[in-house]
Amino acid sequence: MLNIKRAASWIGLSAASVFFLAQPSAAQTIPQTGLPVVEIGAGMHLIHAEVARTDEQRAIGLMARKDMPQNAGMVFIFEQPAEQCFWMRNTLIPLSVAFVADDGTIVNLDEMQPLSDVSHCSKKPVRYVLEMNKGWFDKRGIKAGTKLRGGPWPK
């Protein structure tokens, strides 16, 4: 669900950005499974987020999933803070995306439509991106500025 629209400019930013060029097969029809799971606290809610840490895991993301449990999600971890942009090619379910700073604070949120190439980007450089079912954050009153607990960010 990553956008390579600006890949040429990102390559010069960091070695971590090179993964934007690695795209999964256009015929990605089988969801990836077996990823590690981390618990993230959001207000009084507990999220069980699969961890996408490698280039391939991040490139595939939640593609080909037909549904996702209510309090489940996926957290994408990048080596360096950078402007992170996501899209929904080959992703069948609508998602909400939270761009998260190193301290676990949500920088900005966006809503993403299935099967779309529209870019959704962080408003500042981040290393973490959390995807949940569409509307998950809004239904729980979680907004930009909310600090998430647990998770992969440094303590």
DSSP state of 8: H
Would you list the DSSP string of 9-64? HHHTT-GGGGGGG----TT--S------EEEEEETTEEEEEEEE-SHHHHHHTTTT
Closest CA to 142 of 81, 102, 91, 100: 100
Domains in the chain, start-ordered, CATH in brackets? 7-24+34-150 (2.60.120.1140)
pLDDT of residue 139: 97
Show the low-confidence residues of the chain (pLDDT under 50). 1-22, 26
pTM of the full predicted structure?
Answer: 0.83
**3-state SS record for 65-79:** CCCCCCCEEEEEEEE
pLDDT of residue 28: 63
Closest CA to 120 of 142, 153, 145, 94: 94
pLDDT of residue 29: 74
pLDDT of residue 30: 84
